[in-house]
Protein backbone atom coordinates (compact mmCIF):
# COMPACT_ATOMS: atom_id res chain seq x y z
CA UNK A 1 0.00 0.00 0.00
CA UNK A 2 1.32 3.23 -1.05
CA UNK A 3 1.50 5.89 1.63
CA UNK A 4 0.76 9.44 0.69
CA UNK A 5 3.34 11.80 2.10
CA UNK A 6 1.87 14.99 3.23
CA UNK A 7 4.21 17.88 3.93
CA UNK A 8 3.07 20.83 5.90
CA UNK A 9 4.45 24.28 5.08
CA UNK A 10 3.73 25.57 8.55
CA UNK A 11 6.79 24.01 10.32
CA UNK A 12 9.09 25.21 7.51
CA UNK A 13 7.81 28.79 7.86
CA UNK A 14 8.21 28.68 11.65
CA UNK A 15 11.74 27.33 11.21
CA UNK A 16 12.61 30.07 8.68
CA UNK A 17 11.27 32.82 10.93
CA UNK A 18 13.16 31.40 13.92
CA UNK A 19 16.44 31.29 11.97
CA UNK A 20 15.92 34.88 10.79
CA UNK A 21 15.29 36.09 14.35
CA UNK A 22 18.41 34.30 15.59
CA UNK A 23 20.48 35.86 12.81
CA UNK A 24 19.18 39.35 13.64
CA UNK A 25 19.88 38.84 17.35
CA UNK A 26 23.40 37.70 16.48
CA UNK A 27 23.96 40.78 14.31
CA UNK A 28 22.95 43.13 17.09
CA UNK A 29 25.25 41.45 19.61
CA UNK A 30 28.05 41.44 17.02
CA UNK A 31 27.46 45.15 16.48
CA UNK A 32 27.64 45.81 20.23
CA UNK A 33 30.85 43.77 20.55
CA UNK A 34 32.43 45.51 17.58
CA UNK A 35 31.54 48.91 19.07
CA UNK A 36 33.19 47.94 22.36
CA UNK A 37 36.34 46.80 20.55
CA UNK A 38 36.38 49.93 18.38
CA UNK A 39 36.10 52.16 21.45
CA UNK A 40 39.16 50.46 23.00
CA UNK A 41 41.26 50.84 19.83
CA UNK A 42 41.84 54.49 18.90
CA UNK A 43 43.85 55.79 15.96
CA UNK A 44 47.20 57.42 16.60
CA UNK A 45 47.01 61.20 16.41
CA UNK A 46 50.20 62.98 15.46
CA UNK A 47 51.51 65.93 17.47
CA UNK A 48 51.49 68.99 15.22
CA UNK A 49 54.37 71.38 15.80
CA UNK A 50 54.48 74.63 13.84
CA UNK A 51 56.81 77.59 14.00
CA UNK A 52 59.98 78.33 15.93
CA UNK A 53 60.36 77.35 19.56
CA UNK A 54 61.99 80.24 21.41
CA UNK A 55 63.28 79.52 24.92
CA UNK A 56 63.64 81.93 27.84
CA UNK A 57 67.43 81.62 27.49
CA UNK A 58 67.25 82.85 23.89
CA UNK A 59 65.06 85.84 24.84
CA UNK A 60 67.46 86.76 27.66
CA UNK A 61 70.37 86.67 25.18
CA UNK A 62 68.78 89.48 23.13
CA UNK A 63 70.27 92.91 23.77
CA UNK A 64 69.14 96.24 22.32
CA UNK A 65 71.59 97.36 19.67
CA UNK A 66 72.11 93.90 18.11
CA UNK A 67 72.02 93.62 14.33
CA UNK A 68 69.33 91.69 12.48
CA UNK A 69 71.87 88.98 11.68
CA UNK A 70 72.76 88.56 15.36
CA UNK A 71 69.06 88.26 16.26
CA UNK A 72 68.58 85.69 13.48
CA UNK A 73 71.53 83.66 14.82
CA UNK A 74 69.98 83.58 18.31
CA UNK A 75 66.28 83.09 17.46
CA UNK A 76 66.39 81.57 13.99
CA UNK A 77 64.51 82.71 10.92
CA UNK A 78 61.26 84.47 11.86
CA UNK A 79 58.00 82.73 11.03
CA UNK A 80 56.28 85.95 9.93
CA UNK A 81 57.83 88.97 8.25
CA UNK A 82 55.67 91.60 6.65
CA UNK A 83 56.42 93.88 3.75
CA UNK A 84 54.24 96.48 5.44
CA UNK A 85 56.01 96.18 8.81
CA UNK A 86 59.66 95.65 7.90
CA UNK A 87 60.68 96.89 11.35
CA UNK A 88 59.39 93.80 13.20
CA UNK A 89 59.68 90.05 13.14
CA UNK A 90 57.12 87.64 14.57
CA UNK A 91 58.10 84.33 16.14
CA UNK A 92 55.07 82.08 16.67
CA UNK A 93 55.19 78.55 18.07
CA UNK A 94 52.18 76.22 18.19
CA UNK A 95 52.01 72.69 19.59
CA UNK A 96 48.79 70.72 19.06
CA UNK A 97 48.39 67.35 20.75
CA UNK A 98 45.48 64.92 20.88
CA UNK A 99 43.11 65.51 23.82
CA UNK A 100 45.07 68.56 25.05
CA UNK A 101 44.73 72.31 24.66
CA UNK A 102 46.74 73.95 21.91
CA UNK A 103 49.91 75.61 23.24
CA UNK A 104 50.73 78.88 21.49
CA UNK A 105 53.61 81.24 22.27
CA UNK A 106 54.41 84.49 20.48
CA UNK A 107 57.41 86.81 20.48
CA UNK A 108 57.70 90.04 18.51
CA UNK A 109 61.08 91.64 17.87
CA UNK A 110 61.17 95.33 16.88
CA UNK A 111 63.97 96.98 14.91
CA UNK A 112 64.95 100.55 14.15
CA UNK A 113 66.70 100.29 10.82
CA UNK A 114 68.91 97.22 11.19
CA UNK A 115 69.32 97.52 14.96
CA UNK A 116 67.27 95.68 17.62
CA UNK A 117 65.14 98.10 19.62
CA UNK A 118 63.09 95.79 21.87
CA UNK A 119 61.23 92.49 22.10
CA UNK A 120 57.89 91.64 23.67
CA UNK A 121 55.65 88.64 23.89
CA UNK A 122 54.54 85.72 26.02
CA UNK A 123 56.65 84.38 28.86
CA UNK A 124 58.74 81.64 27.34
CA UNK A 125 59.61 78.36 29.10
CA UNK A 126 63.20 77.35 29.67
CA UNK A 127 64.59 74.59 27.48
CA UNK A 128 64.39 72.16 30.40
CA UNK A 129 60.73 73.02 31.06
CA UNK A 130 59.89 72.58 27.39
CA UNK A 131 61.62 69.20 27.15
CA UNK A 132 59.80 68.07 30.31
CA UNK A 133 56.44 69.12 28.81
CA UNK A 134 57.13 67.05 25.69
CA UNK A 135 57.66 63.90 27.73
CA UNK A 136 54.66 64.45 30.02
CA UNK A 137 52.26 62.43 27.85
CA UNK A 138 54.05 59.12 28.05
CA UNK A 139 55.79 57.47 30.92
CA UNK A 140 57.33 59.80 33.42
CA UNK A 141 60.98 59.71 32.49
CA UNK A 142 64.01 61.64 33.58
CA UNK A 143 64.64 64.86 31.67
CA UNK A 144 68.09 64.72 30.07
CA UNK A 145 70.70 67.25 31.13
CA UNK A 146 70.95 69.88 28.41
CA UNK A 147 74.29 71.38 29.43
CA UNK A 148 77.70 69.80 29.70
CA UNK A 149 79.57 70.04 32.99
CA UNK A 150 83.12 71.42 33.07
CA UNK A 151 84.40 67.85 33.64
CA UNK A 152 82.61 66.65 30.51
CA UNK A 153 83.97 69.57 28.49
CA UNK A 154 87.52 68.83 29.72
CA UNK A 155 87.38 65.50 27.86
CA UNK A 156 87.36 67.42 24.57
CA UNK A 157 90.18 69.97 24.58
CA UNK A 158 89.85 72.80 22.08
CA UNK A 159 91.68 72.25 18.82
CA UNK A 160 94.78 74.41 18.41
CA UNK A 161 94.21 77.35 16.13
CA UNK A 162 96.58 77.84 13.24
CA UNK A 163 98.65 81.01 13.45
CA UNK A 164 96.85 83.88 11.85
CA UNK A 165 98.40 85.70 8.96
CA UNK A 166 98.58 89.45 9.14
CA UNK A 167 95.42 90.92 7.74
CA UNK A 168 95.77 92.48 4.37
CA UNK A 169 93.95 95.56 3.27
CA UNK A 170 90.41 94.79 2.17
CA UNK A 171 90.06 94.14 -1.52
CA UNK A 172 88.19 96.59 -3.63
CA UNK A 173 85.16 95.04 -5.30
CA UNK A 174 85.79 94.35 -8.96
CA UNK A 175 83.59 96.15 -11.38
CA UNK A 176 80.66 93.95 -12.18
CA UNK A 177 79.77 93.41 -15.78
CA UNK A 178 76.69 91.47 -16.72
CA UNK A 179 76.17 89.78 -20.08
CA UNK A 180 73.58 91.34 -22.37
CA UNK A 181 70.01 90.09 -21.97
CA UNK A 182 69.41 89.78 -25.69
CA UNK A 183 71.57 88.27 -28.37
CA UNK A 184 73.47 90.86 -30.38
CA UNK A 185 71.81 91.88 -33.62
CA UNK A 186 72.85 90.02 -36.73
Q: Do 98 and 45 form a contact (C-beta atoms < 8 A)?
A: yes
* Alpha-carbon gap, residue 126 to 16, rounded angstroms: 72
What is the structure's pLDDT at 43? 78
The pTM of this model reads 0.51
Sequence-distant (≥ 6) Cβ neighbours of residue 37 within 8 angstroms: none
* Alpha-carbon gap, residue 134 to 106, rounded angstroms: 18
- State the DSSP string of 44-97: ----EEEE----HHHHHH--TT-BHHHHHHHH-S-SEE-SS-TTEEEEEEEEE-
Report pLDDT digits (tens) over 152-162: 888 887 777 76
**69-83, 92-106, 130-144: the lowest-pLDDT one:** 130-144
Amino acid sequence: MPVKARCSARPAVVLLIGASMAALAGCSSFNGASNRIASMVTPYKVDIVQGNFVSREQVEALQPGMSRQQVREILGTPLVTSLFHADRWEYVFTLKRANEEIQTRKLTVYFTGDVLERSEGDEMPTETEFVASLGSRGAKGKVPVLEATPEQLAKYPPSPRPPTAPTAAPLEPASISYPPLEAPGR
